[in-house]
Amino acid sequence: MKTQATDMRQHLIEVARTIITHKGYSAVGIAEIVKAAGVPKGSFYYYFASKEAFAEALLEHYFSHYLHQVDKQLSGVESGRERLLRYFSFWKTTQGADLPESKCLVVKLGAEVCDQYDSMRHVMAKGTQEIVQRIAHCIREGQADSSVSAVSDADELAEELYQLWLGASLMAKIHTPDKAFDKAMNATTRLLG
């Protein structure tokens, strides 16, 4: 029974992710989520105490999945610089795609929910901090193998790069995606030294 409950909870999260990534948090109601998932509305409240609790679970799921992707992109035998550039190329590819499920929930929901929902803001803060820590670790490895400039503090540079790419993702929604991401990549190569 526990597996079935976990599967249904996961099903609700996965169905809603595509919808919320496309429309945002406030524009999506529980009725739309359960209809798309093909489950009764009461089932939603069996698994989640509220829409806010559901969104926290959605964000936790997103970060768990995304951190796995970050680890995959930043690992390997290549130089630290090559692994960092691979990660940011991955970012460009996924955030430039027209597939809502590949889009960054931090970009989509950050401004919408952080001022209103402390619990969601905390999940985002924890998840983004883990991403930045992984980038910083790879920068330190690049500094050790001399592929990344040792002039910059790794933690500060990681934060700058992450913010740069979040900004590029936002600008890609407003303007031409390729232009925003190409500029971000150029700035990244300069910052890495």
Return the HEC string of 76-103: CCCCHHHHHHHHHHHHHHHHHCCCHHHC
Question: Are the C-beta atoms of residues 127 and 63 closer than 8 Å to each other?
Answer: yes
Residue 2: per-residue pLDDT:
46
Q: Is 43 among the domain residues?
A: no
CA distance 32 to 44: 11
Count how many domains the chain has: 1
Q: Is 39 among the domain residues?
A: no
Neighbours of 45 (CB within 10 A): 15
* Nearest alpha-carbon partner for 192 in 141, 162, 152: 152
Q: Is 3 among the domain residues?
A: no
Q: Is 28 among the domain residues?
A: no
CATH number of the domain at 155, please.
1.10.357.10
Residue 28: per-residue pLDDT:
87
CA distance 38 to 36: 5
Residue 43: per-residue pLDDT:
83
Q: Is 153 among the domain residues?
A: yes
Q: Is 26 among the domain residues?
A: no
Angle at 163 between CA 159 and CA 166, to 5 degrees: 140
Per-residue pLDDT of the chain (193 residues), as tens digits, is 444 556 888 899 999 888 888 888 888 889 999 999 998 888 888 899 998 999 899 889 889 988 999 999 999 999 999 999 999 999 888 876 665 555 677 776 777 777 777 888 899 899 999 999 999 999 999 999 999 998 889 999 999 999 999 999 888 888 877 888 999 999 999 999 9
Q: Is 136 among the domain residues?
A: yes
Question: Please, where are the H alpha helices in the chain?
Answer: 2-23, 30-37, 41-47, 51-74, 80-96, 105-113, 118-144, 154-174, 177-192
Q: Is 49 among the domain residues?
A: no
Owning domain of residue 114: 57-192
